């Protein structure tokens, strides 16, 4: 269903879409960031641009999205979230672009590379022609970006719907208020004055004064923020990954005139959503494909020459266990050594550098961002990509890692030859590992 857009401000390129007490914001001003302390750099850049709100997007690269918003008092309790960050999280790839049809013929285009949303890409276009021109310009600068959306595109694309973007809009996409150093100082001075006043009243009173507002415990506030983030990220243990790989192995390479082309499983909160595409040969009939579909799987036909099998594989149904994460050192020594031992069986293995988790900081009673507890290890992620023959994954199914897998793709190199298809089916597994540092 297309989004119903509203203008965030008169004369502003910002647009908003509202649903279930949350507001997605389109058209932020994105700027690249250089450096490791992404939260500090993002806030500094937002202050320099005199923005009222900001959000950052980070992977191997990083960028900050800024906006000047005046939210009506009645809507200040709503969560305002970046559509660009939500789309990146929903797509689940480090680099890609999304093209989504909105209402009144408008089309939204956003793109990201190495985890950073690209400058000038988070834009709502008045027509498909305008969006296509911007898309061509992006392709010239960043060729080969994975494509997602709800409108057809040349060169292949993966479906991504509005509901999936809304579902991915969690704390990592939340727009944060820009608090100036002067405002923080005034808030601190006001808090000190209030404390002195209460202290004076306590000295004059026979009973100690009771302050009605409770202080915010930084450790508990950060724990709550991590719990909210973990609840929004499906965690896939070894059993869940084994079930998804088992479903791919169960796919028939050929069925009386039908040939397997490719398959893909994408994780959602209720399980892995999978589909396999088949091409019809000369002898293929629709009845033959329906006859071999496992129970619970659906068959969809593309006119006369193609078909899709779709099914759902249950996963563990739990969030990322951030309290029981392994260390980055464990990943570098134990997991990396295991990958090295089996590297000859795979065509590609990539384990990216560790990055701090891009989590919106909780606020204290005055609305200022709380710093990470000094005695806590940092929580971060790293991207993992493995590509190789389907049979080789049997060696990796018992991984004891905290992973949020993003996609599982099977590509058949010789779909018309059943024997070759079974031996040369290539699987690409992408995901995010969570760990402490």
Looking at the structure, do residues 275 and 417 belong to the same domain, yes or no? yes
User: Which whole number is the average pLDDT over 65-75?
Assistant: 73
Q: How far apart are CA 86 and CA 221, in angstroms?
A: 23
Looking at the structure, do residues 37 and 151 belong to the same domain, yes or no? yes
Looking at the structure, do residues 173 and 218 belong to the same domain, yes or no? no
Structure-token match 């070894």, residue found: 238
pLDDT band at residue 170 using 50, 70 and 90 as cut-offs: confident
User: Which whole number is the average pLDDT over 382-388?
Assistant: 88
Domain region containing 349: 214-437
Domain annotation covers residue 202: no
Per-residue confidence (pLDDT) for residue 180, from 0 to 100:
63
Structure-token match 């004055």, residue found: 193
Per-residue confidence (pLDDT) for residue 420, from 0 to 100:
47
Q: Of 319, 325, 320, give the one whose Cα is nearest residue 378.
A: 325
Q: Of 407, 402, 411, give the one whose Cα is nearest residue 433.
A: 402
pLDDT band at residue 84 using 50, 70 and 90 as cut-offs: very high
Looking at the structure, do residues 253 and 331 belong to the same domain, yes or no? yes
Total of domains in the chain: 2
pLDDT band at residue 194 using 50, 70 and 90 as cut-offs: very low
Domain annotation covers residue 203: no
Q: How far apart are CA 100 and CA 161, in angstroms?
A: 8
Looking at the structure, do residues 277 and 344 belong to the same domain, yes or no? yes
User: Which whole number is the average pLDDT over 324-347?
Assistant: 83
Looking at the structure, do residues 167 and 230 belong to the same domain, yes or no? no
pLDDT band at residue 214 using 50, 70 and 90 as cut-offs: low
Name, in order, each residue with C-beta under 8 angstroms of 302's C-beta and a sequence gap of 6 or more.
308
Higher pLDDT, 227 or 109: 109
The H-assigned helical ranges of 271-366 are 286-292, 328-330, 336-341
Mean pLDDT of all residues in the chain? 78
Looking at the structure, do residues 169 and 276 belong to the same domain, yes or no? no
Looking at the structure, do residues 248 and 128 belong to the same domain, yes or no? no
Residues 111-130 have pLDDT tens digits of: 998 888 998 889 999 888 89
Looking at the structure, do residues 236 and 368 belong to the same domain, yes or no? yes
Looking at the structure, do residues 38 and 146 belong to the same domain, yes or no? yes
Looking at the structure, do residues 324 and 262 belong to the same domain, yes or no? yes
DSSP category for residue 362: P
Q: Is the pLDDT of residue 209 over 60?
A: no
**How many of the other CB atoms lie within 10 Å of CB of 247?**
20
Structure tokens at 435: 């760990």
Residues 306-318 have pLDDT tens digits of: 888 998 887 765 6
Looking at the structure, do residues 224 and 154 belong to the same domain, yes or no? no
CB 51 within 8 A of CB 68: yes
Instruction: Assign 188 to helix, strand or coil.
Output: helix
pLDDT band at residue 185 using 50, 70 and 90 as cut-offs: very low
Per-residue confidence (pLDDT) for residue 211, from 0 to 100:
42
pLDDT band at residue 71 using 50, 70 and 90 as cut-offs: low
CB 255 within 8 A of CB 280: no
Higher pLDDT, 310 or 8: 310
Domain annotation covers residue 17: yes
């Amino acid at each position: 269903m297309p989004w119903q857009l509203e203008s965030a401000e008169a004369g502003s390129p910002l647009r908003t879409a509202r649903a279930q007490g949350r507001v997605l914001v389109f058209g932020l001003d994105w700027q690249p960031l250089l450096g490791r302390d992404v939260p500090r750099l993002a806030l500094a850049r937002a202050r320099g641009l005199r923005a009222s709100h900001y959000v950052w997007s980070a992977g191997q690269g990083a960028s900050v999205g800024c906006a000047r918003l005046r939210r009506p008092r009645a809507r200040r309790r709503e969560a305002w979230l970046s559509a660009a960050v939500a789309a990146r999280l929903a797509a689940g790839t480090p680099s890609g672009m999304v093209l989504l049809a909105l209402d009144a013929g408008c089309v939204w285009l956003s793109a990201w590379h190495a985890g950073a949303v690209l400058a000038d890409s988070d834009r709502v276009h008045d027509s498909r022609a305008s969006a296509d021109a911007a898309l061509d310009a992006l392709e010239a600068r960043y060729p080969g970006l994975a494509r997602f959306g709800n409108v057809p595109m040349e060169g292949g694309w993966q479906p991504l719907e509005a509901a999936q973007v809304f579902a991915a809009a969690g704390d990592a996409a939340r727009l944060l208020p820009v608090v100036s150093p002067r405002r923080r100082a005034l808030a601190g001075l006001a808090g000190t004055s209030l404390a002195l006043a209460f202290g004076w009243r306590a000295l004059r009173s026979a009973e100690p004064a009771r302050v009605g507002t409770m202080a915010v415990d930084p450790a508990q506030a950060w724990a709550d923020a991590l719990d909210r983030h973990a609840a929004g990220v499906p965690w896939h243990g070894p059993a869940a990954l084994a079930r998804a790989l088992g479903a791919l192995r169960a796919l028939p390479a050929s069925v009386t005139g039908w040939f397997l082309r490719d398959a893909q499983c994408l994780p959602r909160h209720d399980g892995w959503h999978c589909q396999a595409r088949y091409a019809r040969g000369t002898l293929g009939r629709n009845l033959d494909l329906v006859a071999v579909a496992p129970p619970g799987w659906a068959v969809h036909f593309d006119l006369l020459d193609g078909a899709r099998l779709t099914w759902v594989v249950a996963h563990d149904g739990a969030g990322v266990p951030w309290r029981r994460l392994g260390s980055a050192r464990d990943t570098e020594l134990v997991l990396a050594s295991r990958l090295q031992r089996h590297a000859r069986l795979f065509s590609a293995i990539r384990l990216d550098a560790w990055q701090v988790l891009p989590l919106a900081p909780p606020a204290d009673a005055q609305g200022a961002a709380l710093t990470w507890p000094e005695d806590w290890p940092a929580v971060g992620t790293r991207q993992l990509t493995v590509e190789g023959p389907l049979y080789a994954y049997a060696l990796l199914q018992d991984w004891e890692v905290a992973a949020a897998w993003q996609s599982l793709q099977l590509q058949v190199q010789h779909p018309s030859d059943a024997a070759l298809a079974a031996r040369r089916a290539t699987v690409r597994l992408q995901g995010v590992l969570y760990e402490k540092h």
